[in-house]
Amino acid sequence: MSTRQESETRRRPAAVPDFRTDLILIFLLFGWAFLVNRKFRISGLYMDDLYMWSCWGEQSFREYVFPVGSTRFRPVYWLAAWLELLIVGNHITWIVPINILLNALLASFLYAFAARLSKSRATGFVAGMLFLSSHFAYYQIGQLLGLMETMGIFFAAAQCLFLYRYLREEGNGGRNLGAALLFYLLNCFTHERYMVLLPMFFYCLLIKKEKKVSRWLLPLLLFALMLFARRAAIGTLSPAGTGGTNVADTATRGSILTNFLVELLYAAGVNAGPDYLCGLPWQNTPFCVKILVLLWNLLLLALLCLVLSGLRGGKRYGVSWGRVLGDAVFFLGFLIGTAVSSAVTIRVEMRWVYVVYVFWLLLLCCLIGLRRTVLLRRNEDPEAEHRYEISERFPLAFFAASAVLCVLVQLCYRSCSGNIYLFPNQKRYNSLADVTYGKYGRDILGKKIYIIGNFYEMSDFTAETFFKTFDPERTGQGTEVRHVDSVLDFGQVTDDMIILKEDAPHDLFTDVTDLVRDLKLTVVSGYYTQDGWMDENAHLRIMTGAGGDIAMHVMYPGNLRGDEWIRVTENGEPAVTYLLKSNEADFVIPAAPQQIVDLTFSTNFYVENALEQRGTDRLAMIVNFTAE
């Protein structure tokens, strides 16, 4: 070996740094995961998430994990969801941090896989960062059901990893194939769309020229077992589509091709869907962001050209064009399969593109790794020609540059995630949780919650179930939700009532309990709402409810002489006298419904030897008003 080559060898970093490098990079991935997802929040459940929680709260373990007669059969996911909800319980705000942790763990797995493929920890780290930065993660992070998408991506990537190990003769071929089959089966019972990845087994068996018949038959047997289980559980083999549709009824060749192309555009940074599906459609995307998308894709194209040019003469170093093509088809098979699996539905939701994006990243890492293998082996070959050699750091530089542009684009798209159809609803139910459980804690349980307006058209199921999620006993303890048109539709605000108002322009609920309480009962003088004490003379204005009459419960804590009376003047009319014959008494003041009634009170008694005097007159009695 020449002196120059020896010098280069000495300067070359060790191929296998110690495990501390991996830990540091994984720690950075976790930090980025929490930073980039910091705006997501769940403090109240609704729609599918609320339904999933209600099933967990009301069904047995067997009924929850192995339901019979459902439209879907996903026992692996339902088992994981049952365990997650067991941890979460009524701590709804834990859902997002748990989702972020799981996504960061998935990114760490992808980092390890991508680093192995690319022969570079730096490349693997960039791939992990790109995965976490993607705006496709909105569902995984921002919804309870996001766990299903995280599991689906992990199982698909794990199937890919072990099949790739099988292809490359890494370890025991039978064990790698068996592990891939296991993850495939788990994925079919997580989300049925991943059953389309079955052909990848036969592609690998064909490339390997596998002669063992059992290895050809086993994927078919597992596939048949999965179909039999589905048929027994839900009575059909056809997977259900999105939005309550059936794939067999809605899928056409034209729709599948269109959706497939839309998914590829999404993966390339072009939001090809409407705003309610992608947040920021391409036609509304700022021009500067479009330029970034163009530059990003040009850099990726240049990277591919650079990688392919570096593979010239690779056969001499164990990387033939046949291997390059075989590996490219392998990862493209997973990419196309996962894209087609979701293209059969009536629309494309970005959460389904996430797994497509993953296999695109893995394909790039694989090609970079093949090129790096050629360059490393060529550098060790004393007879190799180095005139046209380009530094092995160039692909990483191009990849890093494209990654920076990609992250900028993704952050822009993430800023518009609130426009996706899930999040206006999520925002309003977060608000409902914030102004009730977030403000009053468990004291909210058992109360009557009046909501002024029903623009949001809250379903009966949501009204009955929403507050159960905050109850450790999962019953809601009698909490009621009632919608009213105005404050005139109910009487006085009592301690067991909370009054909310819809703020439709901002997708919020506001707590107006104190405001309505003051509106319902305005104290001019002589009455103290905090504990109900009234002076000898008092002046109030009370808003009546639909029934009109005002009920008055009186308690006098002194000794009665027998001639105590309370005189009430209503709207300036002649006074009505009520005789107090016992220490506690109930009286009814006749009044017109849905009106503000001006009342003055006077008594011929007061509390003797009272420890305090709050106004100019002495304390006389405790009075509570009810106007239904």
- DSSP string over 159-181: HHHHHHHHHTT-S-HHHHHHHHH
Q: 381: which residues sit within 8 A by CB, 6+ positions away? A: 316, 317
Q: Is the pLDDT score of 218 beyond 60?
A: yes
**Per-residue confidence (pLDDT) for residue 388, from 0 to 100:** 42
SS (H, E, C) 560-627: CCCCCEEEEEECCCCCEEEECCCCEEEEEECCCCCCEEEEEEEECCCCCCCCCCCCCCCEEEEEEEEC
Q: What residues does CATH 2.60.120.260 cover in the chain?
A: 519-626
Q: Tally Cβ neighbours within 10 Å of residue 63.
A: 11
Cα gap 337→341, rounded to integer Å: 6
Q: Is the pLDDT score of 322 beyond 90?
A: no
Q: How confident is the model at residue 1 (pLDDT cuts 50, 70, 90)?
A: very low
Tell whether the torsion through CA atoms of 160, 162, 166 and 168 is positive or negative: positive
CA angle 589, 595, 600 (to 5 degrees): 45
Counting beta carbons within 10 angstroms of the beta carbon of residue 463, is it exposed (0 to 12), middle (13 to 18) or buried (19 or more)?
middle
Q: Is the pLDDT score of 376 beyond 90?
A: no
Which whole number is the average pLDDT over 218-227?
93
**Per-residue confidence (pLDDT) for residue 313, from 0 to 100:** 67
Which whole number is the average pLDDT over 419-435?
94
Which whole number is the average pLDDT over 410-431?
94
Cα gap 558→435, rounded to integer Å: 41
Q: How much of the chain exceeds pLDDT 90, in percent?
A: 64
Which whole number is the average pLDDT over 303-308?
86
Residue 619 backbone dihedrals phi, psi, to 5 degrees: -70, 135
**Per-residue confidence (pLDDT) for residue 418, from 0 to 100:** 92
Q: Is the pLDDT score of 389 beyond 60?
A: no
Cα gap 144→469, rounded to integer Å: 13
**Per-residue confidence (pLDDT) for residue 249, from 0 to 100:** 67
CATH 3.30.930.10 holds for 519-626: no
Q: 457: which residues sit within 8 A by CB, 6+ positions away? A: none
Q: Is the pLDDT score of 367 beyond 50?
A: yes
**Per-residue confidence (pLDDT) for residue 70, from 0 to 100:** 75
* pLDDT, tens digit (0-9, with 9 covering 90-100), for 483-537: 999 888 887 888 889 999 999 888 899 999 999 988 888 999 999 988 899 999 9
Cα gap 520→486, rounded to integer Å: 12
Q: How confident is the model at residue 347 (pLDDT cuts 50, 70, 90)?
A: confident
Q: How much of the chain exceeds pLDDT 70, in percent?
A: 92
3-state secondary structure of 540: strand
Q: Is the pLDDT score of 573 beyond 70?
A: yes
Which whole number is the average pLDDT over 305-322?
77
Four-point Cα dihedral 60, 64, 70, 73, nearest 10: -140
Strands across the sheet containing 480-484: 480-484, 448-452, 497-503, 508-511
Q: What is the mean pLDDT of the chain?
A: 89
pTM of the model: 0.87
Q: How confident is the model at residue 385 (pLDDT cuts 50, 70, 90)?
A: low
Q: Is the pLDDT score of 586 beyond 50?
A: yes
